[in-house]
Amino acid sequence: MILRRLSEFDLHGRRVILRCDLNVPIKDGAITDDGRIRASLPTLRLLLEQGAAVVILAHLGRPKGERKPELSLEPVGKRLSELIGREVKFAPNARECESAAKALQGGEILLIENIRFEAAETSKESTERGDLAEVLARYGDFYVGDGFGAVHRKHASVFELAEKLPHAAGLLVEEEVRVLQTLLESPSRPFAVVLGGAKVSDKIAVIRNLVERVDLLVIGGGMVFTFLAAQGLSVGKSLLEVDQMETVKEVLNRARERGVRVLLPTDILVATEFKDLPAKRTLATEIGADEMGLDIGPDSAEYYAAALRECKTVFWNGPMGVFEFSNYQGGTRAVAKALTEIDGLTVVGGGDSAAAIRALGFADEQFGYISTGGGASLEYLEGKELPGLVALR
């Protein structure tokens, strides 16, 4: 996919609408991980250096068209101001800030309140989305799409708005696409994909696509138990998607046909409740009827790590266990550490994986690339056309 690049345009003196992904976790009014804000800085700095006035559009959470104070972007604006080293003005209503936008001078920034407070942003009706895009288009004369975490959504500020103004991809989107294209088209081998998280159904499309391209497929997280059950094992009270078992069998058969090595855990950390209780280790073949698996076991973590260290390209999306529980972080920690030791390209696929490595004390610089888009990354690797990228071609 060939995107229009910022380097093709002189934006001095222009008012630029910049769509960012500032969807950061906030607890008790405090940002707990500002990774996505930091990822937006290179494009913002470039625009400011060129003398552009910048109007930022972004979302936070899923307010579903309601104004929810806990999902306001105001604390995000304050953090952005600290990181960029200049004032970030704030507009509390997306439909009523035309005068504020047009009053901006070169080098000034205006952050508009959570665009998803507007029901038309996420509406399935194109006429409603188009109406909002018409309003937003009056705030600038150029559009830059840099919110990679939202490019898989056909939303007003992501798709329709880009069609109404001259536009280009931001530096972040450009780099995300470059890295993901490398994974699909020219990975150094051996090439491994590590997939975790809760449900097979969330990942099955990307598994189907990548099993045709990888050398090693490593499975962790809650989705492990559907794989184990598909092989006839009892998984107790563990998360299980019975309707996905036949699909999993098909994937495993295809992997065997292609000579793709698939790693599943041989031991599991279990508990009798979904709580941060002291972990009990059991073999994957011996999970009790009253037990639920919450992490891969230490033996599995060790051989997962050993296999990954032999690879030249690794894409990882989804933790190996319930990493939010201190007793069930071992598998995720082992995979993260292995990725820091690989002599090659390592890509952490956004979402919970990025949150996990930071929560476990790893620095972003220890990995080759950390994607900002969990769902967007997966859909790209599925081979889907993403609306927000189509609009920037």
- In 3D space, the residue among 66, 16, 68 whose CA is nearest the CA of residue 45 turns out to be 16
Catalytic residue among 196, 351, 373, 388: 351
* Inter-residue contact 178 to 347 (CB < 8 Å): no
Tokens read off for 336: 């993260």
Active-site residue flag, 36: yes
Active-site residue flag, 116: no
Sign of the CA dihedral running 63, 64, 67, 68: negative
Catalytic residue among 36, 79, 153, 333: 36
Active-site residue flag, 351: yes
Using DSSP bridges, classify how beta strands 142-145 and 167-169 pair: parallel, antiparallel or unpaired: parallel
List Cβ neighbours of 224 (8 Å cut-off, separation of 6 or more).
Answer: 264, 265, 268, 293, 296
Q: What is the 3-state secondary structure (H, E, C) of 30-67?
A: EECCCHHHHHCHHHHHHHHHCCCEEEEECCCCCCCCCC
List Cβ neighbours of 324 (8 Å cut-off, separation of 6 or more).
Answer: 359
List, in sequence order, the alpha helices (H) in 51-146: 74-84, 98-102, 126-137
Pairwise CA distance, residues 82 & 110, whole Å: 14
What is the number of other CB atoms lying within 10 angstroms of the CB of residue 203?
23
What letter does residue 5 receive in the DSSP assignment?
B
* Inter-residue contact 299 to 334 (CB < 8 Å): no
Cα separation values, 115 from 19, 21, 266, 371, Å: 10, 11, 46, 22
Rg (CA), the chain: 22
Catalytic residue among 35, 197, 297, 375: 375
Edge-to-edge strands of the sheet including 280-283?
280-283, 267-271, 292-296
Using DSSP bridges, classify how beta strands 216-219 and 261-263 pair: parallel, antiparallel or unpaired: parallel
Catalytic residue among 5, 199, 208, 261: 199
Pairwise CA distance, residues 194 & 218, whole Å: 5
Active-site residue flag, 393: no
Q: Point out the residues that are catalytic.
A: 36, 199, 351, 375
